[in-house]
Structure 1
Amino acid sequence: MSEHENEKQTSNVVVDSEGSSHGQELIQAYWSPEQEKRLVRRIDIAIMPLLILGFAVLQLDRSNIGNAMTDNFLKEVGITQFEYNVGNQLMYLGIVLFEIPSNLVLYKVGPAIWIGFQIVAWGLVATFQAFIKGHGYGPYIATRFLLGICECGYIPAGLYTMTRFYKKDEISKRFAVFFLGNMVANAGAGLLAFGILRMRGVANLSGWQWLFLLEGMLTIVIAVLFITLFPRSTSNPVSLAGLRHFTEEEAHIITQRVLLDDPTKKHAHTHVSREELKAVFTNWKLIAHVMTTLGSLSAIASLASFGPSIVASYGYKAIEANAMNSIGYWILIPVTLFWGWAADKWGKRGPMVMFGTFISFVFLIAQRCIAETDKVTAKYAIITVVYASSFNWHPINGSWMALNAKSAGERSITMAILIMAANASGIVGGQIFQASDAPNYKVGWSVSVALSCIGFVSSVVANVQYWNLNRLNKKNGNAGFVYHP
């Protein structure tokens, strides 16, 4: 008997490489744990860097307008701060409106085609928004709305794609690593702006125009890499350019191991069924997750657009404020990675989400308490910690929702709903900081505290609902679906 046969694992479900079920026959995994570990490492190399890079350029193109604000952007475009806020709200609206349709397309055509197309599309919009100088409100809001439409499906598509390649006890840390793209972009944006904005005058362009041009063109480069390298699926790990990442046997193992771990991940149809859509939209348990996301992220959403300006209001030079604003995001990176690792290690996502939202709530209270003082150093220190604790819980909330979905189609739409809530927070938080409230923004910080409180309370409700449902199932002897805490 071979080494593989000595280390067989069993399951009562039979699935093939396309995720089709063959009834209740006994199936045996013929691969060894060592072989599986090697394949997981190769999966990490094949898909994670590309997904992270895509997320990084998305966040750069979405938030670099906050850095542009420190370079006379409003005056040179010809808009007010209120109109600037409306443009950012429209960007988030474009994302929210098309999030679910985007994931329906993703489910049908796969990530290599759909994600690659999206990166190209928003990269072009991000690049050409450099030429709205002097054209006023209309072109400004049109480009922001179009940018949102083009970016709409990337994050839920990335999250859903990872659930196809990884097992339940591997996914939280991968979700956290995926958000490295977001965090590195937020942290590096200020440093990039610190250098690029100094190009003002080169080729008769403003610094903020160079910012949009260079970062937009970087996005196009990443799009080409994605299309060239990203595998189509677990069962067909070949890129659109014909690059094969795994042999046919390895592809079978990659697909089989995930489906043996969670048979709900099989693709029973080539599209999301009506029953799956109905199941998602009538799933009341998602409400607490959505409110956690909406409340806690709305509380800090405006900082992406106003953070550098707020730091500059503490008395620092405008260009230097961009670099100083990035420090909290650098701290957020190891915090989020630890949160993802701990959630998988402990096997409990809910308490990690609740603890994360509570910490964010506490530091926003501290920021509000000190807002009206002249303690500039303390203000800067606290806002840095606000950044560092802002959304380390968010990827874990996503993995928690994904694990409690009952089918592949439900999981795809559930991820879309999560990111719809995240981007709706940009609409809610888009008008928190007003010019009339500057420079202390006492009203703005008060609103942020209230929203953060809603998010924390909702995370408590989410934990309680699953604990109570599992308790009732156990009491009633129900051996059905067990909810992941």
Structure 2
Amino acid sequence: MADEKQIADVSESQLSTSDDEGRELTWTEAEEKALVRRVDLLVMPLLILGFFALQLDRGNIGNAMTDFFLRDVGITQFQFNIGQQLLSAGIVVLEIPSNMILYRVGPPIWIGAQILAWGLVATFQAFQKGLGPYLATRLLLGLCEAGFIPAGLFTITRWYKRDETSTRFSFYFIGNMFAGGCSGLIAYGILHMRGICGLAGWQWLFLLEGLFTLLVGILFIALFPLSSAKPVSLLGIRYFSEREAQILQHRVLRDDPTKFQPRRNVSWGEVKATFTNWRLLPHFFMTLLGMAPAHTMGAYAPSLVVSFGFDRLKSNAMLSIGSWLLLLTNLAWGAIADKTKLRGPMVFLGVFLLWGFTIGNRVLVESTDGNLRFGVLVTAIAFQAPWHAVHGSWLALNAKTAGERSITMAIFIMSANVAGIIGSQLFQAEDAPLYRTGWTVIMVLVSLALLMSIFANAQYWLLNRFQKREGEARYHY
């Protein structure tokens, strides 16, 4: 209670700050809307571009699989799965330390450095040969990517109000989904370069997309503003006037005083409070169970389409249909969640639809109708994760302090990457090409995720009912 009182006192002091003429800072609704539009055009595109590069570099190995990657490198499918697990493990290990560093040094330096680091690894993985180099590059890629996604989520909460975050979280994840839609089309073209300069198509894929990431990292460091209070880039470019910067900061703090950041480090108390918060458990398990199939599809969906009877290289382009549809469902989920202020129910609906399409894929596992199986698979991909960004917004809204919000976002993305460790082993060579056992396990995992979504909604509903007896309800659902 003492910590909460201190935050309230400090925040109230911050909110009462006056402008240069000694009057309380005020602004019009039109002025605020214009500033938010400018933030949307400045902050979001750079974060989305970084996410786009990240997904290209960690997801293009699924496209490489259709170009004899296993044969050329000299590894088995089981060893390939181990490498995918190491990628996720590397992300999990450094997720929280990365966000703590972000809290201290700020987004332009830390996020930009991360993009450059994984861009170098992504580029030079084109020259891997043998099991050792393959495992090393996957682990290094994960270590360098660790913290990027929660760092972006936390940064968004510093620029936007509570009823704006679900939409912006969804826009942020557009980078991921846009890469999913483009990667197959890009791969279809690049993989035809096999033989040029003596390189395989998958080598050109890693080289060109890795070099693109390095360019994104340079742009991010050069252009991203330091903070809403100091909207200046490292190059000295100032994006907002002093008054506009005050409005940007005050509008967020007046909406949610817990976003006040009095220190440049996360306290031990905030770390302890986050890790002992039992309300996070159903969120953690929902993400762990519900996102595992997405990691499986990221690596094996192109190969599945080939097994349906379609062309080896064309399968990459065909599969992009699901990713483009996912982009639309993701935006719809975020917009509806902010409009209705019902994040929890929207998360439940998303997991429920995923559950239904997962059952459809399992039922059709013996079908010889390739077109039908492709249609159901693409539709399942379109609904595999629109709830994920809204889920992150839901968690962020229920964090008590800025420090807790930072650690919570790290744990949220950690659970998604632990899901990657599970998802990487769901499809095994001896189960190919139908993957009966794999699809059965996926069905069980999503069923459990659905139960966790029900539990997460129920806990906040019950807690608010109990608290209404004593005063105002405090939890968002």
**Interval containing the TM-score (normalised by the shorter chain):** over 0.9
Pick aligned residue for 1:350 from 344, 349, 355:
344
Look up the match of 1:3.
none
Look up the match of 1:126.
122
3-state DSSP of counterpart to 1:240: coil
Q: Paired residues, what number?
A: 468
Distance 2:383 2:46 in 1: 26
Provide structure 2 residue ranges, at least 5 long, that are not aligned to the other structure: 19-23
Distance 2:400 2:463 in 1: 15
Pick aligned residue for 1:100 from 96, 104, 121:
96
Pick aligned residue for 1:239 from 218, 233, 236:
233
Look up the match of 2:21.
none
Look up the match of 2:394.
400
The amino acid across from 2:42 in the alignment is: A
Is 1:65 the counterpart of 2:57? The answer is no
Pick aligned residue for 2:83 from 78, 83, 87:
87
Say if 1:13 and 1:23, in contact at 8 Å, map to a contact too: no
3-state DSSP of counterpart to 1:31: coil
Distance 1:110 1:396 in 2: 24
Look up the match of 2:222.
228
Tell me which stretches of 4 or more aligned residues in structure 1 moved more than 4 Å.
12-16, 23-29
Distance 2:36 2:290 in 1: 33
The amino acid across from 2:67 in the alignment is: D
Is 1:379 the counterpart of 2:373? The answer is yes
Look up the match of 1:52.
48
Say if 2:11 and 2:253, in contact at 8 Å, map to a contact too: no
TM-superposed deviation, 1:14? 11
3-state DSSP of counterpart to 2:13: coil
Look up the match of 1:437.
431
TM-superposed deviation, 1:312? 0.6
TM-superposed deviation, 1:300? 2.7
* 1:115-166 deviation per Cα after TM superposition (whole angstroms, max 9, x unaligned): 000000000000000001xx21001000000000000011000000000000
Look up the match of 1:9.
none
Is 1:484 the counterpart of 2:476? The answer is yes
* 1:407-434 deviation per Cα after TM superposition (whole angstroms, max 9, x unaligned): 0000000000000011111001111011
Say if 1:61 and 1:212, in contact at 8 Å, map to a contact too: yes
The TM-score normalised by the length of structure 2 is 0.96
3-state DSSP of counterpart to 2:366: coil
Provide structure 1 residue ranges, at least 5 long, that are not aligned to the other structure: 1-11
Distance 1:265 1:127 in 2: 38
The amino acid across from 1:366 in the alignment is: G
Distance 2:7 2:40 in 1: 26
CA separation of 1:332 and 1:22: change in aligned 2, threshold 3 A:
same
Pick aligned residue for 1:22 from 8, 13, 23:
13
The amino acid across from 1:96 in the alignment is: V
Look up the match of 1:311.
305
Distance 2:122 2:90 in 1: 15
CA separation of 1:205 and 1:248: change in aligned 2, threshold 3 A:
same
Pick aligned residue for 1:111 from 107, 110, 135:
107
Is 1:38 the counterpart of 2:34? The answer is yes
Say if 2:334 and 2:389, in contact at 8 Å, map to a contact too: yes
* 1:383-425 deviation per Cα after TM superposition (whole angstroms, max 9, x unaligned): 0011000000000000000000000000000000000011111
Say if 2:15 and 2:254, in contact at 8 Å, map to a contact too: no
3-state DSSP of counterpart to 2:278: coil
CA separation of 1:390 and 1:23: change in aligned 2, threshold 3 A:
closer
The amino acid across from 1:33 in the alignment is: E
The TM-score normalised by the length of structure 1 is 0.94
Alpha-carbon RMSD: 1.7
The amino acid across from 1:484 in the alignment is: H
CA separation of 1:25 and 1:167: change in aligned 2, threshold 3 A:
closer
* 1:176-207 deviation per Cα after TM superposition (whole angstroms, max 9, x unaligned): 00000000001111000000000001111000
Say if 2:86 and 2:421, in contact at 8 Å, map to a contact too: yes
The amino acid across from 2:465 in the alignment is: R
* 1:46-103 deviation per Cα after TM superposition (whole angstroms, max 9, x unaligned): 1100000000010000010000000010011010000000001000000001000000
Say if 1:14 and 1:26, in contact at 8 Å, map to a contact too: no
Pick aligned residue for 1:152 from 146, 169, 172:
146
Distance 1:23 1:258 in 2: 11
The amino acid across from 2:57 in the alignment is: D
The amino acid across from 1:368 in the alignment is: R
TM-superposed deviation, 1:22? 2.1
Look up the match of 1:473.
467
Look up the match of 1:165.
159
TM-superposed deviation, 1:13? 11
Is 1:219 the counterpart of 2:213? The answer is yes
The amino acid across from 1:413 in the alignment is: I
Pick aligned residue for 1:415 from 404, 409, 412:
409
Distance 2:374 2:25 in 1: 55
The amino acid across from 1:304 in the alignment is: G
